[in-house]
Structure 1
Amino acid sequence: MTLRRARADHAPTGAVLLTARTMQKVRQHFETETTHRPSKAMYAALADIAATLAEMAEGGAEQKIYLSSLDPGIGKTTVLSHFVDALLEDNSLEHVGVLVCVARLDEIKTLVHRMGLPAGWFACYTSDAQVNALGGDTEPNKARVLFTTQQMVERRLDGQSFAACEVFHYRGKPRQVRIWDESWLPGEGITVSRYALSDLLSLLVSGGYRRLADKLEDLFFRVRSIEDGTRLEFPDLAQHAELNAVLSLVDSPRDNAEAKYQEQRREQLSLLWYLSGRTVVVRRDGKDGNAVLSYRDTLPEDLAPLLVLDASGRVRETYAEMEKHRDNIARLASAAKRYDRLTVNVWNTGGGKSSFERGSAGAKELVEAIAATINTKPGEEWLVIHHAASKRTEDIPAGVSPLLPDASKVHFVNWGRHAATNAFAHVKNVILAGTLFYRPSQYEALGRLAAGMKPEQGEYPLSARKRIELGESKHGILQAACRGAVRNCDGEQAHAADAYLIASVRSGIPQTLPELFPGCRVVRWAPVKRALTGKVKEAVEYLQRRFSAPGTAVVKFSEVQKVLGMSAANFRRAVRQHPAFVAEIAELSLVEWGPKALFTAFKRVDASDFGFTPSSAQ
C-alpha cells in the first residue's frame, strides 16, 4: 500500500475531491499539451503529491517533511501548477494560502509564467525588486500564493518559529500549503579552515581587538598539529567583543570582486561567533589544511508539514540520515524512469578542480579532448557542464571554443548553476567536464547536520561520511545530465541521449551509474591516445606482461620499482603520479590498492567494478 493510499483512508472528503480535481487537470494537460504519457506507477506517484498538497490544504497532514523524489521530467511541477489552479477554484478553501520556496530567482519567473496566475492572486517576496514586481501591488500577506527564495526563508526564520514569522502569513495565519523545490536541509553545515582564521587576524588587530586576535592565533597554531578527528572546545570569542562591532570592521567594497571577498569575511566572522564556546571537530582537509566543523539548525520544526520536490531524493544520503536519526522524512510513492536510450561514456581520469589547474598539461589535455569529442558530431548541439574559471582553474569555454568549427552550437554551464535551467532540454549530447567534490570537513558537517549529531555526541562514522560524499556526487551527476534531452520522457522511457563523464573509478562514481540511470548503457570513453616514453613506458609494459599471466591479481609497487631501478620516492613522483601512467593503467583496469590505509600495489578490477556494461568492457 502506498503512503497516499494509507493516508486516504483517514483523509477528509474535501482532500480526496481536491486530489481528484487536480489529477483530472494533470491528465488533461499530458493528453492534450505534451507527448509525455506517464506510466501507471508515475500517475500513482503524481497523485501522491496531489494528495499531500490537498491534505495540507484541509489541515490533515502530519508534521513531516514529505519527500517526492521522482526523476526530472516526470511531472512534479505540473502537479503543483494544477493543484494551485484547483485550490483557487474551491471557494470552501479561500482561507488557505500557499507558500512556494525555490532555490533561485529565475525559477520564480519560470513558475509565475507557467502557472499563469491572475494578477492580485500572487506576490513575490525576495530581495530583488524586479522579481517582486511580477506580483504587481499585491502585498505578500494578502496574496493566496506567495513565491519566495529558500535563502529568504532561512534568513527570516533563523531563530524563530514559522508561526511567529508574519511575513509568510495569509490572513493573519501561517500558510497551510508549503512547497520546497529541490534540496532541503534543516540548517547549514559549518566549516572554518585554518587559513580562514589567519585571514581575519590582521582585521582584528587593526580594529583594536588584540586579545581577540591572540585567541584566534592560538587556535590557528593549535589546529595545525592536532590529530584528525579530535574534538575541542572553541574559544568563547563573544566574551571579548560583540559580533556586530567586529562586523563593522569590514570595509565597504569598492567593486564586485571585493564585495564577494568582504561578504565571505562577514560570513566567516558570523560563523566564528556562532561556534564560540561550543564543541567542534577538527578534520584534516588535505592540502587545504585542517578545519573545524559543526552545524546549526536554521529552519524550525514547525515549518512542517512541508512538501519537498527533489529528484535527487532517491540518491542523496542526507535524506536517509534525516529519515533514520531525525525521523522527520515521509517518502512519497516512487516510480521508475528508465534510461535504456541513454549511453554514458566514461573517461576514467580525474575530474576534480585540481585536474583543471590553470596552465597545467593535464588541463590542456582535458580541454583538447573535450573539443575533439564535440567535433565528432559537428552538426549537433552540445551542453558542457564545467568548473567555473578562477585564478587556479582553467577557463573551459575559452579553451574549448577556439578549437570548434562552430562554437554557436555548444552551450556552457558551470557547476553550481547546472540545476538552474531547463533551457537545454532539447540537447542530446551532454559533457560533464569533471565533477564537484568538497572537502572532508564539509561532508562531515553535512552528515552531522542531516543526522542531528552534534560534535559533543561523539564521532561521526567514516562509512557514513563516505556515503554522504558519494550521494552528493550522484546528486550532481543526475541533475547535470538531466539538463539535456534525457530529462524528457515518453511514458517511463527517457529520451535518447549521449552523456560523457570525466570521473575516476577511485571516486566510486562510475560504479553507481547503472543505479543512477536504470537501464543505461555504460561504455569506455578514451578521447586521448598517449605516446608513452621512458620509465612510464617501461612500467606500463611490465604491468601488461605481469597481469597477462594467469592468476595474477596484485603486483606490488616494490616489485615494479626494482625492475625499473628506481627508489620509492622517484617511482611515486616520476611514474605513479605521471598523468600518462595514471590514464594508461586505468585503461588496463588497474587501480592502486592496499590492504590497509596506504596503497602498496596495483590491482586488477573487473569491468563491472567500473560500472561498464559487460558487452562494452573492451
Structure 2
Amino acid sequence: MHSDLTQRALQLLKGRFKEIGHTPSLEQLAALHEIQHTLSLMAKGKLEQKMYLSSLHPGIGKSTAVITAIQAYVQCHEMYGEQGVIMCFDRHEEIVRMVKDMNLPRHLFAVKVANHSSNRELNEMGLGSTRINEALVLLTTKQQITRLGQRGQRYSDMSRLFYLGKPRTIRIVDESMTSGIGLKLVVRKFAKLPDELSDSHPTLASSIEELVQELVRFKNGATFYVPDFGEKAKANLSSFKWSSAEVKDVADTFLRILGREVTVKATKYGNVAIDCDDILPDDFLPCLVTDASGDVRGTYAFQAKYRKNLVRLKGADKDYSNLTVNVWRQASGKIAYQTNGNKLYVAEIVKAINSRPDEQFLVLRFLSNPELEADIIEKVIQPERVKFTHYGLHTATNEYRDIPNMIITGILSYRSEDYEALARAAAGLRTGDGVLPPEVINDLRHGEHAHHLLQAGCRTTPRKSEGAGCPEARLWLIAPKGILPDNEIARIFPGCAVQRWVTMPRSLKGPLQVALDYLMDKFSNGINEVPGSEVRTFIGVAKQNFKRDIIQNVDFSDTLQNRNISIEKRSNGAYIFRDTSYLRELVESLTKGNQTPIGISL
C-alpha cells in the first residue's frame, strides 16, 4: 500500500514540475522520489527509529517533494489508520509560506507557535491552536519539541500535539535538526549570580562564590565535577526572579550541569565550563530532515558515528557552472570589522556593486554591524537596487531568489569552546564520556563555515534551478586565509568558477615595495620575464620565507594583478614573474569593433 502512496505523490510532483517548468536530472528526480517513499514508509510504521536526512541542494525540489507527498497522503489518509502529520520549522515566516504552498482545506491543518499576543494570527490559522487534536496536519516550531525534550519529556507524552489522541506518526523537520544542545557556562557571568542571591539566599550565594573561585583556577582542558547542590538549592534557583533574561539563562545552564563533570576551557575572556544535553526525544524518531547543508556539516557525521541513528537518503549533485565566486582573502570576522573599521571593506564592496550598475545585489552582514548598510548605501549607484540581510536570517528564505549578485562580507565563526560544545551535543558525548581530539573539533569548525557559505550563497539566484544547474550568478566573498580555501568552495558549489576578487592596490611596505619597484624597473626596460630567485636575492629574503612572505602575500599579488604582472610556478617549483600587459594590449586591439580574437586566452 505504501508504494501506491509513493506513486501517487510522485505523479503530483511531476505534475507540479511540469506546471512551473522545472526539469531536474534523472539523478535528482530519483533522490526526490526517495524523500516521498520515506514518508510513505513512515505512514505505515515501516522505518527504524532513526533520523532520515535529505541533503539535496536548494532549488532541486525538496520542499515540493514533501508538499506533494503530504497532499497525496491527505487524499487517502483513512487507508493508513488516520496517522497525523507534524511539520517543524525554525521561523514563523517559513510556516506561513508552507501553509500557502500546501494549500490545504482549513479543516485539515492547524498551527501551533508560542502563545503570545503577537502570534495570535498564526495560532488562528486552519482549525486554530485550540483544536490541534482534530487537525490532520500540524505546523509548528522545532522549539515546541526541543524545549520539552530538554526537560526530559518524551514525544509520546506531548499530548497537546496529538492527533485524535495519538502521537503524530509522520514527522518532518525543515532545514536542520540536532539531537543535542551545547551547554556553556561563562564563569565571569556566573560570578554575577551571588550578588542577586545574597539577600534572600545567602548560603546558596556563598556556595556559588566558592565554586566560582575553583573554576577560575583551572587550566585549559581540565575536567571538573560540579557538585549537586541538593533539591532545595535547585528549587530556589528555578523559582528565583532574576534581573534579566541573560542572568536567567546563566542560572538555567548552571542547573543543567549540577551533579556532572564539565570541561573547562581557558579563553581570553576567562574560563568557560562546557558540556551538552539531549533535546530531541528518542521517540520522535523516525523523522525526515531536509537540510541542504547535510553533506558539509560535521554535526550529522558526528551523529551518525556516535549516536548511530542517522540514515542518509540519496544525494544528487547540482551544477553550479553558471556561478562565479570572487574571493578576497582578508580578515573579515566581527572583530576585524571593529579593528579595521568599515571603510576598508566598503571601498571594495562598493566597487563590486558599481561594476554592475543595472543589476540587483544582496549584501549579507553581521548582526552586530548595522552601520555597514548606511556606509554602503551612501556610495553606490542607484542604492535602491541593493538589499541587505544579516546572519540569523541567511537560511531558508526565498525572498531574494531573483537577485543575481551577492556579497558575503564575512563568514560567521564561533569561539573554540562553542565548537567543542556543538561537537559534543551532536555526538551525545558528555565530558564524562571522554576527550574530543582537537582535529575533530577543527573538522566540525570547517563544516560549519561551509554550512554558512552554502546557505548564504543560495539565498540569491543560485537557489533557483535550470535543469540540473542554476542560472547565471555571481558571488563575492570576503574570507581570510585558512577559512574556506578555494578547493573547498569548489566542493560546496560543484562546477563553480573560483577566482580572485580583484581589489584596489593597497600600499606596500618593506621588502614587498622593494620587490615591486625592482619588477617595474625590469619590465620598463623591455624585459618580459624575471625569475623569482633573482627578485629574492635582490630584496634579501631567505629562500624558506620567500613563498610565505612575498609570493603568497595577498596585497602583493593583488597589486601585481592590477599592473598586469602574473606569478607562475614552474614544474621544478621555481617562480617566475611575467609582464602580461602586451597580451592585454593585443586583445584590446583585436576586439575593437567587436572582433573576437582567435586562439588568445588570458
TM-score by length of 2: 0.84
Instruction: Find 2:343's aligned residue among 355, 358, 364.
Output: 364
- Tell me which amino acid in the other structure corresponds to 1:101: C
SS at match of 2:358: coil
Instruction: Find 1:66's aligned residue among 46, 52, 64.
Output: 52
Instruction: Find 1:437's aligned residue among 387, 397, 413.
Output: 413
- Tell me which amino acid in the other structure corresponds to 1:104: R
> Distance between the aligned counterparts of 2:269 and 2:443, measured in 1?
22
Contact 1:321 1:451 in 2 (8 A): yes
> Distance between the aligned counterparts of 1:140 and 1:605, measured in 2?
71
In the superposition, relative to structure 1, how do residues 284 and 538 fare at CA in structure 2: closer, same or farther (>3 Å)?
A: farther
1:569 aligns with none
Alignment of structure 1 residues 154-193 onto 2, 5 Å: 154-158=146-150, 159-193=152-186
SS at match of 1:109: helix
In the superposition, relative to structure 1, how do residues 224 and 527 fare at CA in structure 2: closer, same or farther (>3 Å)?
A: farther
2:312 aligns with 331
Alignment of structure 1 residues 450-465 onto 2, 5 Å: 450-465=426-441
In the superposition, relative to structure 1, how do residues 227 and 163 fare at CA in structure 2: closer, same or farther (>3 Å)?
A: same
In the superposition, relative to structure 1, how do residues 163 and 556 fare at CA in structure 2: closer, same or farther (>3 Å)?
A: farther
1:313 aligns with 294
> Distance between the aligned counterparts of 1:534 and 1:463, measured in 2?
36
Instruction: Find 1:50's aligned residue among 25, 36, 40.
Output: 36
2:564 aligns with none
Instruction: Find 1:86's aligned residue among 72, 75, 91.
Output: 72
Identity of aligned residues (%): 33
Instruction: Find 2:533's aligned residue among 534, 549, 556.
Output: 549
How far the C-alpha of 1:305 sits from its partner, in A, is 0.7
> Distance between the aligned counterparts of 2:461 and 2:314, measured in 1?
25
> Distance between the aligned counterparts of 2:184 and 2:261, measured in 1?
13
2:142 aligns with 150
Structure 1: segments with no counterpart, 5+ residues: 1-13, 252-261, 564-575, 590-603, 607-616
Alignment of structure 1 residues 6-405 onto 2, 5 Å: 14-32=1-19, 34-90=20-76, 91-93=78-80, 95-127=82-114, 128-137=119-128, 139-158=131-150, 159-205=152-198, 207-238=199-230, 241-243=233-235, 245=237, 247-251=239-243, 262-285=244-267, 287-357=268-338, 360-389=339-368, 393=369, 395-405=371-381
How far the C-alpha of 1:583 sits from its partner, in A, is 4.8
Alignment of structure 1 residues 472-483 onto 2, 5 Å: 472-483=448-459
Structure 2: segments with no counterpart, 5+ residues: 523-529, 561-572, 576-600
Contact 1:250 1:266 in 2 (8 A): yes
SS at match of 1:350: coil
SS at match of 1:100: strand
> Distance between the aligned counterparts of 1:247 and 1:350, measured in 2?
45
Q: Which stretch shifts more, 542-551 or 292-301? A: 542-551
Which whole-Å deviations, capped at 9, do the CAs of 1:443-462 have from their partners, x for residues lacking one? 01111111121111211111
1:595 aligns with none
In the superposition, relative to structure 1, how do residues 244 and 370 fare at CA in structure 2: closer, same or farther (>3 Å)?
A: farther
- Tell me which amino acid in the other structure corresponds to 2:67: S
Contact 2:505 2:555 in 1 (8 A): no
> Distance between the aligned counterparts of 2:41 and 2:497, measured in 1?
41
> Distance between the aligned counterparts of 2:559 and 2:215, measured in 1?
42
Which whole-Å deviations, capped at 9, do the CAs of 1:285-318 have from their partners, x for residues lacking one? 3x33321100000111110110000010010011
1:6 aligns with none
> Distance between the aligned counterparts of 1:587 and 1:235, measured in 2?
57
CA RMSD of aligned residues (A): 3.1
> Distance between the aligned counterparts of 2:556 and 2:226, measured in 1?
45
1:612 aligns with none
How far the C-alpha of 1:526 sits from its partner, in A, is 3.0
- Tell me which amino acid in the other structure corresponds to 2:14: R
Alignment of structure 1 residues 526-565 onto 2, 5 Å: 526-533=502-509, 537=513, 548-549=532-533
In the superposition, relative to structure 1, how do residues 474 and 556 fare at CA in structure 2: closer, same or farther (>3 Å)?
A: farther
Which whole-Å deviations, capped at 9, do the CAs of 1:237-289 have from their partners, x for residues lacking one? 456623455553314xxxxxxxxxx222211110111111210011233x333
Contact 2:505 2:558 in 1 (8 A): no
> Distance between the aligned counterparts of 1:246 and 1:170, measured in 2?
32
Which whole-Å deviations, capped at 9, do the CAs of 1:482-514 have from their partners, x for residues lacking one? 000001112211221100111112224444111
Contact 2:303 2:426 in 1 (8 A): yes
Query: How many residues get paired?
Result: 545
How far the C-alpha of 1:551 sits from its partner, in A, is 12
Contact 1:140 1:146 in 2 (8 A): yes
SS at match of 1:281: strand
In the superposition, relative to structure 1, how do residues 197 and 542 fare at CA in structure 2: closer, same or farther (>3 Å)?
A: farther
How far the C-alpha of 1:147 sits from its partner, in A, is 0.4
2:594 aligns with none
> Distance between the aligned counterparts of 1:148 and 1:530, measured in 2?
51
